[in-house]
């Protein structure tokens, strides 16, 4: 037995009472979470994480086309074969690259790497789009990732030619 006087239930223990109490505590005096409450919390947390993952998966699968207004690409009609022209599309600050590939013609891609969004640039000798951040490489003809950490292809920009002017129409992921 302890020499601590019996306390009234509901009254907090004084500092000296707490340090003089015997161990183990009485179940009634213990404020710990019960096993049932812990299990309930674990099941609810797991369910919430599963629901969040499901929502993110559905959002990732939807067709996420970014439609921009048709925008003329200045200098595209006179771009020499094997060269690149950098422009902004679909909005200001969104970098894109137009390539005039021998045997293929004009193709355009978003300049944002699909790995960590670094800017890619065109290597005319290798005919590849290169990401300098992590040595990512993309095929200039298709936009497919061919080396490095990127797993997805570059978003393609649909082009249209009207009256001698080349227009960027929309970006397709």
Looking at the structure, do residues 29 and 83 belong to the same domain, yes or no?
no
Tens place of pLDDT per residue across the chain (173 aa): 455 555 555 556 566 666 666 666 666 666 677 889 889 999 999 999 999 999 998 887 776 556 677 899 999 889 999 999 999 998 888 899 999 999 889 999 999 999 988 999 999 898 899 999 989 999 999 999 999 899 999 999 999 998 889 999 988 88
Q: Measure Cα distances from 119 to 92, 106, 132 in Å.
A: 15, 20, 8
Looking at the structure, do residues 51 and 91 belong to the same domain, yes or no?
no
Burial (0-12, 13-18, 19+ Cβ within 10 Å), 129 = buried
Q: Is residue 43 part of a domain?
A: yes
Q: Print the domain residue range for 40.
A: 15-61
Domain count, the chain: 2
Looking at the structure, do residues 164 and 117 belong to the same domain, yes or no?
yes
Looking at the structure, do residues 33 and 79 belong to the same domain, yes or no?
no
Q: What residues are paired with 171 via a beta bridge?
A: 66, 157
> Cα–Cα distance between 83 and 102 in angstroms, integer?
9
| Phi, psi (deg, nearest 5) at residue 162 | -135, 130
Looking at the structure, do residues 52 and 137 belong to the same domain, yes or no?
no
> Cα–Cα distance between 131 and 122 in angstroms, integer?
9
Q: Which residues contact 33 (CB under 8 A, 6 or more apart)?
A: 41
Identify which of 119, 103, 115 has the alpha carbon closest to the alpha carbon of residue 148. Answer: 115
């Amino acid at each position: 037995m302890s020499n601590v006087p019996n306390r009234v239930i509901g009254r907090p223990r004084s500092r000296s009472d707490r340090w003089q109490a015997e161990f183990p505590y009485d179940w009634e005096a213990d404020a710990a979470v019960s096993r049932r409450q812990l299990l309930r919390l674990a099941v609810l947390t797991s369910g919430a994480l599963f629901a969040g993952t499901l929502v993110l998966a559905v959002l990732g699968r939807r067709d996420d086309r970014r439609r921009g207004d048709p925008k003329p690409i200045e200098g595209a009609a006179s771009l020499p074969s094997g060269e690149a022209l950098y422009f902004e599309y679909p909005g200001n600050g969104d970098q894109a690259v137009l390539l005039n590939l021998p045997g293929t013609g004009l193709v355009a891609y978003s300049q944002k790497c699909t790995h960590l969004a670094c800017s890619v640039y065109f290597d005319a000798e290798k005919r590849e789009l290169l990401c300098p951040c992590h040595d990512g490489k993309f095929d200039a003809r298709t936009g497919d990732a061919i080396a490095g950490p990127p797993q997805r292809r570059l978003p393609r920009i649909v082009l249209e030619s009207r009256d001698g002017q080349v227009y960027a129409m929309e970006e397709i992921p």
